[in-house]
Amino acid sequence: MMRSDPRALQLNDQGQLKHFLTLDGLSKNILTEILDRAESFLSMGEQSVKKVPLLRGKTVVNLFFENSTRTRTTFELAAKRLSADVINLNIETSATSKGESLLDTLKNLEAMQSDMFIVRHSDSGAPHFIAEHCTPNVAIINAGDGRHAHPTQAMLDMLTIRRHKGQFEGLKVAVVGDILHSRVARSQLHALTTLGVEEVRFVGPKTLVPEYFAELGATICHDLRAGLDDVDVIVMLRLQKERMAGALLPSESEFYRLYGLTKESLAWAKPDAIVMHPGPINRGVEIASEVADGEQSVILNQVTNGIAVRMAVLSMAMSGQMQAQQQEGGE
């Protein structure tokens, strides 16, 4: 489905975001700008009026072709806190389930003067396809596409790490579990390496952590103890059984025995290591409840930070779109 380079497609002539499709190719400066802007939005959650007028008069459409609760809800909250009007399109009852094509649906939404589409799709490259084919003045935000990317999840993870560790330089990060099917892991790897961590380890069985990830900059570990040794950050991933074809695992209990994060295996990391998980959590499959709810867990902080990061991305993309339109209007 992918055609032109999404890295070029998502920036305007001034190098600002106008779409947010992937972290691949984005500069450290842009990622840092997202984090800095998100920091400025975090305090809003403590205010009695949780709104700023940055997207007042703009219409944001949540276009989710895959089920989601956490991601869709935090995008909706982010848009509303920026004062946008929000439409949640129920794909299962929409015209696309009656045979209307994706492009037909887009054209109808464009005709309603929509300003931004937040897209989640099971096909890798779907948000990029939409960005290529929709009218130029609509910003496209990738809320997760196939196995390809989940850039806002990676950025909320980066904000969580920065708030707890202060910086990225010198950090060792272990990402454990189903790397093969994880769009989150791919986006995290791009973000972590761009922001300057010392090492990113992908940890799991050979069937779920292929060696080719080493070409992207990850250290591959098939032994949990070696993978967690002396790390500062642990990111646990769920087993994506809905994406698995064939017998990639002997059983969930065997996976938990070998790769589950327990109080005992957590002790192999640094004493002040933080534990993260993009959710949903499968307790007793990839992580023990005492760890998920323990003192080193920052999982709920990730959810809180997700609203601020998505506010930052929405506001930056809309600003970049408006700059591009103004330049085109002046030419």
> Where does residue 83 fall: left (phi above 0), alpha (psi -120 to 50 degrees), or beta otherwise?
left
Number of helices followed by number of strands (H, E) in the chain: 12, 9
Q: State the average pLDDT for the chain.
A: 90
The reply to whether 279 sits in an annotated binding site is yes
Measure the CA–CA gap between 138 and 322, rounded to whole angstroms: 10
The reply to whether 271 sits in an annotated binding site is no
The reply to whether 153 sits in an annotated binding site is yes
Residue bearing the bigger pLDDT, 243 or 77:
77
Mean predicted confidence (pLDDT) in 22-30: 94
Residue 204 has pLDDT above 70, yes or no: yes
User: pLDDT-derived band of residue 249, with 50, 70 and 90 as boundaries?
Assistant: low
Question: What is the Cα gyration radius of the chain?
Answer: 20
CB 156 within 8 A of CB 37: no
User: pLDDT-derived band of residue 137, with 50, 70 and 90 as boundaries?
Assistant: confident
The reply to whether 206 sits in an annotated binding site is no
Q: What percent of the chain has pLDDT over 70?
A: 90
The reply to whether 323 sits in an annotated binding site is no
Report the DSSP pairing between strands 59-64 and 85-90.
Answer: parallel
The reply to whether 238 sits in an annotated binding site is yes
CA dihedral over 1, 76, 54, 183, signed as positive or negative: negative
User: pLDDT value at position 157?
Assistant: 98
- Helices marked H in 25-142 — which ranges? 28-42, 70-81, 102-111, 126-133
Measure the CA–CA gap between 319 and 139, rounded to whole angstroms: 10
Domains of the chain in start order, with CATH, are 6-149+304-330 (3.40.50.1370), 151-299 (3.40.50.1370)
Q: Burial, 74: exposed, middle or buried (Cβ in 10 Å; 0-12, 13-18, 19+)?
A: buried
Question: The whole model's pTM is what?
Answer: 0.92
The reply to whether 166 sits in an annotated binding site is no
Measure the CA–CA gap between 118 and 313, rounded to whole angstroms: 11
User: pLDDT-derived band of residue 241, with 50, 70 and 90 as boundaries?
Assistant: low
How many other C-beta atoms can be found within 10 angstroms of the C-beta atom of residue 288? 19
The reply to whether 98 sits in an annotated binding site is yes
